[in-house]
Structure 1
Amino acid sequence: MKVEEPFSPDISNGKYYLTLERFAQLIGMAHRISVIEGWIDSGALPARLIGGKLMIDLSELVQKTERSK
C-alpha cells in the first residue's frame, strides 16, 4: 500500500525547488498556472531556470515571507 507523505521540506539546510505544476497543486491552483506565471514575472514569486525547467525557489519564498513580517 502506497502512503502519501505530507509535504514538509527542511529548507533550513539549503535550497528546495518545486516545479511550477507541483507548486500550483500544493496551493490549490493547478488550473490557474497563468496566475502563478504572472507572480513569477512580477517578481512576487521567486523562480529559477534549472536544466531548462522553471522551478519555484521555495527556500527564497520562505525567506522573503519571513523578511516581510
Structure 2
Amino acid sequence: MKVEEPFSPAPEDETYYLSLERFAEWIGMSDQPEVLEAWIASGKLPMREIAGHRLVDLRAFLRAEGKPKP
C-alpha cells in the first residue's frame, strides 16, 4: 500500500517543480483550472515543460510573489 508523504517544499534549498495538478491541490485551487490556465497565459505562473509534462517552478513562483530569496 502506498502511503502519501505530506508535502513540504524547501524551495530555498533548490529548484523545486510540482505538476500543475499537485500545485493546484497545494494552493487549494483544484476546482479552478481556468484560473491556473490564465496565470500560465499571463506569465504569473512560471512553467517548464519536461518530457511533455507541465511543471510549476515553485521557487520562481515564490520569488515572484515576494517571498524572501534564498
So what's the TM-score if we normalise by structure 1?
0.79
2:7 is matched with: 7
Q: Equivalent pairs: percent with the same residue?
A: 48
Structure 2 gap ranges (5+):
none
1:1-69 maps to which residues of 2 (within 5 A)? 5-66=5-66
In structure 2, C-alpha distance between the alignment counterparts of 1:19 and 1:4, rounded to whole Å: 15
Q: Which runs of 5+ in 1 are unaligned?
A: none
Would you tell me which structure has more helix in proportion to its own residues? 1
Return the offset for 1:49: 0.5
Q: Counterparts of 2:59 and 2:31 in 1: how far apart (Å)?
A: 24
With the length of structure 2 as denominator, give the TM-score of the two structures: 0.78
Q: Distance in 2 between matches of 1:54 and 1:3?
A: 24
Alignment: residue pair count: 67
Provide the aligned C-alpha RMSD in A. Answer: 1.9
> CA, structure 1 residues 3+49, in 2 after alignment: closer, same or farther (shift >3 Å)?
closer
